[in-house]
Amino acid sequence: MALLLPGVLPAATLRIIPPSNTTLAEGSGTTELTAELTLTENTSNCRFTADIATSGTATQGTDYSISPTSISIDVPSAQSESSGGATATQALTITVNDDTEIEPTEEITLELTNLNTGPASTINDDTSSFCPGTFDAGDAVTLSIDDDDDTTEPTASDISLQGQPAQTVESTFTVTDDSPPITVSTDIGEVAPTTVNASSGEVTFRFTVPADAQTGETFTGEITLEDARGNASTVSVTIGTELDLTGISGLNPNQASVANALQGACEAIAATPEDGRSAGQEDLLASCTSVQNSDNPGAALDQLAPEEVAIQGRTALGLLHQHQTSIYRRLTMLPRDGGGVDISGINLTVAGQNLPGSVLQQAAERLLGGGAGDILDLGRFSAFVTGNFSILERDGTGNEQGFESNAWDITVGADYRFWDNLVLGGALGYADSAADVNGNAGESDATALTTTLYGKYYFPERYYVSGALTYSHNQYDSTRDVTLGAARQLARGDTNGNQFGANLNGGYDLTYQALTVALQGRITYLNTGIDGYKEKASDSGAPGSGTLLRIGNQTIDSLVTELATQLTYAISTGTGVISPTFRVGWAHEFLNDQRFIDARFLNDPTGQHFSVRTDEPDRNYFNLGFGASAVFPHGLSAFLFTEWFEGRSDTRYYAFTAGARLEF
């Protein structure tokens, strides 16, 4: 039978022992806990029971489950009288569930309630039960559930690309996420693949830059990444319009020089915020794009290269040479013993030397009996006037634009015979030149006002030496076609320059009856300076106005020697004296060399200078000519002379010299 002794109340404590780690990961599965009963007094054949009450932010049945939900620990008879301080345990299991909901950390509180004791087995004569009337419950146990759902969004690096208009650019990047598959989409360009089935995979992004994109223009968009849990992130995409003028193949040195300058200028402009750019810089930026998008970028670069500026130097040398030729002609016409007014020098000259005046003088003397020099004799003083006209055609090369020019000049002067063998004089000249660039690509005009001092000294027999010093002030006006679009744009420039020239001539005339053989030598030095200038647009509001240039100063030095022979034969006829003439000269250039014309774009924020090169001048060439003169009765005389150059590259320079004089 059961024997319960009133007043004897063995003490006991029932508690839940938590795991060593009280933070449980969501979806981590089963975790073992222990319910422990500690007896502080003798207990025998007693069952201790309690319910496990749960609370907290975690929801039982959804977030977790516990088993069993109640505790039942029996203290067997074996513990009976000697069981004071003994313990007994029961295993508990808590299972943390997994879900796809993203949640904050949640808590579970486990607390023992409804504590009861009673006999562990049926009491009879052979068994007894000693149970406390009450026993204590340990402290509540709190556990945490950490939501380990993937709160980290899919990751990938932002994309930044540069591309040229009409170019397709691409970038391959890695997508990472613990919850595949990952869906990839974009609002700009295209991506492939559009699904990444692993936790990490590569995706390629492609974008085609619009063909009409401007240099410096930027295109932006996003790539969206979303994993299986619905976590999403975006990748920033930026595509800049790239300029690569320096990478254009097949450019000649001048084109490459301009391309390099444009590259630096437009990169600097593109890096400047739009509200900080001038209208000229915006236009230069658009011009860079036009060049890059051109079907023929080399031709577009030629359009912007200041190759036409080289014409200024050629024109300056030609004008001064033409004036010096007039003076040289005057010096060759001076007789050894006489003066007078001489207007027979008025002639038409196309690119060359003139028929020596001595030929007409000899012919007139033969026809008029030696008195021709006395017709307008003013003693030791004499005056003259000469006029010239020249035409030059030059083919375009990789360094210079082709052009056709014509020039005329008029020179008036006077001299005085101090002694029979010394003549000194001075002259003023005015010249005008107009050049049209091939392909209607521009114009280059120049005028020159020239002052010259000259002299001639006669040695005994037929030797002579002469020389001249010349100063010229020139005005230049130029027009370059810089059109890259539909509207024509011209770059206009005007500047000044000075020239200095000096020449020394010597000769010897051999005469045998009607034949004269003239042996001639000549050395000429020319120094030309052209001031730098800024171009102006023909239409400041039209495209191309931003491509204007600042042209630097130009300097040209030339030293030319010439050795020539001229044959003249006087033939008397019933109506006059006709004198056929043939001349050949060999010229050599010593100083003039290939030049590099300095320039920079006015709207280039970097101020970068570049240069375009001219062609190498011809070192050696020949001057050939033939013609005839005629002296008729009653004061009428005339001549016709033709000259041309041989050995000058890409140049056609002919001479047609004609003259006439009528005395009343």
Residue 593 binned pLDDT confidence (cut-offs 50, 70, 90): very high
**Range of weakest confidence among 54-63, 149-158, 392-401:** 149-158
Whole-Å CA distances, 423 to 334, 520, 537: 9, 19, 51
Give me the mean pLDDT over the 224-253 stretch. Answer: 89
| Residue 500 exposure: Cα atoms within 13 Å on the Cβ side | 4
Q: In terms of Cα–Cα distance, which of 565, 528, 534, 572 is closest to 363?
A: 572
pLDDT 10s digits, 86-102:
788 888 888 888 776 66
pLDDT 10s digits, 544-553:
999 999 999 9
What CA–CA distance (Å, rounded) separates 656 from 659? 10
- The more confident residue out of 83 and 423 is 423
Q: Kindly tell me if the per-residue pLDDT of 104 is higher than 70.
A: yes
CB 545 within 8 A of CB 518: no
H or E segment to which residue 268 belongs? helix 253-270
pLDDT at 62: 84
pLDDT at 122: 65
**Range of weakest confidence among 81-95, 336-350, 630-644:** 336-350
pLDDT 10s digits, 358-411:
444 444 444 444 433 333 344 578 777 777 888 899 999 989 999 999 998 888
pLDDT 10s digits, 426-477:
999 999 999 999 999 999 999 999 999 999 999 887 888 999 999 999 999 9
> What's this model's pTM, rounded to 2 decimal places?
0.66
Q: What is the mean pLDDT of the chain?
A: 83
Residue 1 binned pLDDT confidence (cut-offs 50, 70, 90): very low
What CA–CA distance (Å, rounded) separates 140 from 53? 9
End-to-end, the C-alpha distance of the chain in Å comes to 180
| Whether residue 119 has a cis bond before it, omega within 30° of 0 | no
For the record, the structure tokens of 536 come out as 């102006």
CB 131 within 8 A of CB 171: no
CA-angle at 449, arms to 444 and 452, nearest 5°: 130
Q: What per-residue string of b and e applies to 630-643 under the rule 16 or more CB within 10 Å gives b?
A: bbbeeeebbbbbbb
- The more confident residue out of 1 and 117 is 117
Residue with tokens 């230049």: 476
Name the CATH topology of 12-146. Immunoglobulin-like (2.60.40)
Q: Kindly tell me if the per-residue pLDDT of 85 is higher than 80.
A: no
Three-state SS at 363 = helix
Residue 144 binned pLDDT confidence (cut-offs 50, 70, 90): confident
For the record, the structure tokens of 110 come out as 């486990």
Beta-bridge partner residues of 537: 491
pLDDT at 183: 94
Three-state SS at 641 = strand
pLDDT at 82: 45
343: exposed, middle or buried (C-beta count within 10 Å: 0-12, 13-18, 19+)? Answer: middle
Give me the mean pLDDT over the 144-169 stretch. Answer: 80
334 C-beta neighbours (distance < 10 Å), count: 24
DSSP code of residue 77: G
Residue 29 binned pLDDT confidence (cut-offs 50, 70, 90): confident
CB 647 within 8 A of CB 341: no
| Residue 85 exposure: Cα atoms within 13 Å on the Cβ side | 1
Give me the mean pLDDT over the 54-77 stretch. Answer: 84
Beta-bridge partner residues of 87: 38
What CA–CA distance (Å, rounded) separates 248 from 255? 10
Q: In terms of Cα–Cα distance, which of 511, 614, 635 is closest to 554?
A: 614
What CA–CA distance (Å, rounded) separates 257 from 544? 19
Task: Give the residue extent of every domain in the chain.
Answer: 12-146, 155-241, 307-340+379-663
Do 12-146 and 155-241 show the same overall fold? Answer: yes
**Range of weakest confidence among 64-73, 243-252, 377-386:** 377-386
Share of the chain above pLDDT 90, in %: 42
pLDDT 10s digits, 180-201:
899 999 999 999 999 999 989 9
DSSP code of residue 19: P
- The more confident residue out of 640 and 451 is 451
pLDDT at 663: 42
Give me the mean pLDDT over the 12-36 stretch. Answer: 84
CB 97 within 8 A of CB 61: no
Q: In terms of Cα–Cα distance, which of 529, 546, 440 is closest to 491?
A: 546
What CA–CA distance (Å, rounded) separates 480 from 489? 9
What CA–CA distance (Å, rounded) separates 585 from 181? 90
CB 433 within 8 A of CB 315: yes
403 C-beta neighbours (distance < 10 Å), count: 24
Domain 155-241 has CATH 2.60.40.2550: no
Looking at domain 307-340+379-663, which of 3.10.20.90, 2.160.20.10, 2.40.128.130, 1.10.565.10 is its CATH number?
2.40.128.130
Give percent helix, percent strand, percent coil of the chain, each to the nearest 5: 15, 50, 35
Range picked from 86-90, 141-145, 331-335, 612-616 for highest mean pLDDT? 612-616
538 C-beta neighbours (distance < 10 Å), count: 17
